[in-house]
Amino acid sequence: EAQVTQNPRYLITVTGKKLTVTCSQNMNHEYMSWYRQDPGLGLRQIYYSMNVEVTDKGDVPEGYKVSRKEKRNFPLILESPSPNQTSLYFCASSLNPGSNGYTFGSGTRLTVV
Amino acid sequence: GQQLNQSPQSMFIQEGEDVSMNCTSSSIFNTWLWYKQDPGEGPVLLIALYKAGELTSNGRLTAQFGITRKDSFLNISASIPSDVGIYFCAGQPPGAGGTSYGKLTFGQGTILTVHP
């Protein structure tokens, strides 16, 4: 089944403790992206990647890092999480975002205390 | 970044009613997309629009790409309980080329509640 898989689904952590949210896609898509969803703010793009080793900032990149060492994987790294990064995070992939949009994973709900 | 403003923020309707929501921007967009998010899931693409003035249907859903390229609307006819969810517009800004082709901006969402 074609899908975007992200783990974990739920995560509670403490301020300052580094964490990684994994994302993998099995559709051989060139593009991958991370979004965060907050009430009243919709989905905001954090980072996106055009291909292996090619990444670019979205609208809210501060406090996040990404890497694209393999085509199928695009982990999101929070080096020093803070409470304002408590949010619902979505990974997504696409062959052609401008034409087909992104296919989204099921989300990771992160709470930073 | 460029902003997309969706309205209304939320809607409470009776089953069988028609629904209309829209999305506006101060800047032009090359592509308009409409997504639906069910509770506990990621958004799923409903309709994609590529040209100014384009009108596209998908079952009971109809969407249009505004002539000015700064707006789009989505209509749902004869709503049913499973239409409940959050609807998002999304757009790709012009000039998106090279690596920035991955950029896709979303609106704030419209929360739809359908009463049986």
Residue in chain B nearest A6 by alpha carbon: B42
Q: What is the pLDDT of residue A26?
A: 96
Percent of chain B residues topping a pLDDT of 70: 93
Q: Band of the pLDDT at A87, cuts 50, 70, 90?
A: very high
Could you tell me which residues are beta bridge partners of residue A35? Answer: A45, A90
- Res B2 pLDDT > 90: no
pLDDT digits (tens, 9 = 90+) for A10-40: 999 999 999 999 999 999 999 999 999 999 9
Residue in chain A nearest B39 by alpha carbon: A106
What average pLDDT does this structure show over B1-17? 91
- Res B43 pLDDT > 60: yes
Contacts of A104 in chain B (CB under 8 A): 42-44
Q: Which stretch of DSSP H or E encloses residue A56?
A: strand A54-57
- Report H helices in A1-113: 97-100
Percent of chain B residues topping a pLDDT of 90: 82
pLDDT digits (tens, 9 = 90+) for B70-89: 999 999 999 999 999 999 99
Helices (H) and strands (E) in chain A, counts: 1, 11
Q: How far apart are CA B68 and CA A5, in angstroms?
A: 38
Q: Do B106 and A97 touch (CB under 8 A)?
A: no
Please name the member of A31, A42, A94 whose beta carbon is closest to the beta carbon of B106. Answer: A42
